[in-house]
Structure 1
Amino acid sequence: MTALDHSTIERPAHVRPALGLRIVNGVAKFIRSWRNRREIYQLGEMSDAQLADIGLVRGDLHVAWNAPLGIDPTEHLGWIAQARRRADEALARRML
């Protein structure tokens, strides 16, 4: 019976670039999220009517801004607008 010593096993060469790529992608995602978080301020300067045209209300901006730092606030706003649009469409179908 033999014992295997796993402490000396190195990662294969093809795994190392993948790990580096994941780190670079993670940093890029964080930077993109931070930039988009700053763009929320520009949406805050829009009127309520303009926000309604894109399917948002002013409170949605606050919800997106208070999302965790790892979540892109513009994606969060997209989810909110899409959910509201689906709810409105479902309500319209019930009315018919």
Structure 2
Amino acid sequence: MATFDFATETPRITSRPAVATRVVNTISNVYRAWKNRRAFYRLGDMSDAELADIGLTRADLHVAIDVPFGRDPTARLRAIATARAETVEDLARKVV
């Protein structure tokens, strides 16, 4: 076997695990998005007081659900809650 023969065989051998990894990652991401979306829908069953305890409002749920199916609505909720918490902390600092 010449060096040239080995060099031409290598890309074909190494491309299969890369494709398999991408397929597994895609399936994993879809499953995670589906699971998080189910958890997101359970937030809709909570009362307004319970949502306020975790730093959300019912309007936040309506904003976050507008993301496409492949994206995670809980990540959008996290961004909304973090922005609101930072704003409240900034206001509290100004009062003191």
Q: Partners in 2 of 1:62 and 1:22 — Cα distance?
A: 32
Where does the alignment leave 5 or more consecutive residues of structure 1 unmatched? 1-7
Number of matched residues?
89
Percent identity, aligned pairs only, is 51
Cα distance per residue 1:33-65 (max 9 Å; x no partner): 122112222111111111011010001111221
- Greater displacement, 83-92 / 8-17: 8-17
Match of 2:78 in 1: 78
Q: Partners in 2 of 1:94 and 1:23 — Cα distance?
A: 51
Find runs of 4+ consecutive structure 1 residues off by over 4 angstroms: none
Q: Secondary structure at 1:41's aligned position in 2? A: helix
Q: Partners in 2 of 1:94 and 1:32 — Cα distance?
A: 40
| TM-score calculated relative to the size of structure 2 | 0.78
CA root-mean-square deviation? 2.1
Which structure has the highest helix share of the two? 2
Give how far 1:12 is off. Answer: 5.0
| TM-score calculated relative to the size of structure 1 | 0.78
